[in-house]
Amino acid sequence: MLSLELKKELDYDPIKHLFLPPDLGTVLYMPGLPQGGGVIHDRSPYGNHGAIVGALWKRLPSGLWYLDFDGTDDYVDCGSDASLLPTTALSIIIWCKPTHADYMHYGSCQYNYGGKQGWDIQHTRVVKPTWFLGNGTTLANIAFDANVTNNVWYLGVWTYDGTTMRSYKNGVAQAATASLTSPIIYSGSGTLMFARCPPGTNYKSGQTLYGIFNRALPAGEVAQFYQQTRHLFL
């Protein structure tokens, strides 16, 4: 995954500011920039760059940059290119530091709750991070084993292989799985967004190292990615 060799600092060397090519199957990979700006650049072959609305660039002691969202009107919009809409397999990666106090969205893509379409990752202070995924007939969902802690960084990964949804927290598979028949059906309206689910609420958090894949990452790759990136958040 991402060749998952990381080759020094997770496809990102905070000293040399090097970006290395992501692995096959990557349709979105935004590791952040060594400086600010209004765009977070996609390092996948598809160029699905994210337009930053309101969020501020901040830097970790490791040198890694991340986006800080105020939970009111900040988000990232990556558009609606067909490459962002895989239908038979999907993986989502987000390193996140929640700082919220109420109902929030990590990210979403052409999500329609009533139409049971697209996907959305939700979180509240009493409900564990939960991923919703729809095929137009069924809206399946899975939640983490336990809630996450405010102001603590963690890696969330959500995968779908055409039949089964899985989630991982800090490289560890969560107990809950869900069955969903492919293909994923998207609403045809809206875009891929992080820290927002229109017309719903925004997510007060820090976020970085976004990834979207058109394949289901196996457990071994998820665990390896966590081990190769966790030091950046200590």
Give the CATH number of the domain where residue 124 resides: 2.60.120.200
CB contact at 8 A, 52 and 38: yes
Residue 177 domain boundaries: 26-233
**Residue 10 belongs to some domain of the structure:** no
Give the model's pLDDT for residue 21.
57
Show the low-confidence residues of the chain (pLDDT under 50). Answer: 2-19
pLDDT at residue 99, rounded to an integer = 81
| Secondary structure of residue 229 in the 3-state scheme | helix
Residue 125: what pLDDT? 64
Q: Does a structural domain hold residue 4?
A: no
In a domain, 228, yes or no: yes
Q: Is residue 126 part of a domain?
A: yes
Measuring CA to CA, which residue among 28, 7, 19 is closest to residue 90?
28
Residue 19, in any domain of the structure = no
Return the exposure string of 198-215: e unless at least 16 CB atoms fall within 10 Å of the residue's CB, then b.
Answer: eeebbbbbbbbbbbbbbb
How confident is the model at residue 83, as a pLDDT? 96
Is position 20 within any domain? Answer: no
Question: What number of other Cβ atoms are within 10 A of residue 180's Cβ?
Answer: 21
Q: What is the pTM of this model?
A: 0.89
| Euclidean distance between CA atoms 95 and 97, whole angstroms | 7
Classify residue 198: in a domain, yes or no.
yes
The residues with which 134 forms a beta bridge, in sequence order, are 118, 139
Helix H segments across the chain?
A: 219-229
* Residue 31 preceded by cis peptide, ω within 30: no
Q: Is residue 196 part of a domain?
A: yes
The pLDDT of residue 104 = 74
Cβ 115 vs Cβ 180: under 8 Å? no
Say how many domains are in the chain: 1
pLDDT of 71: 76
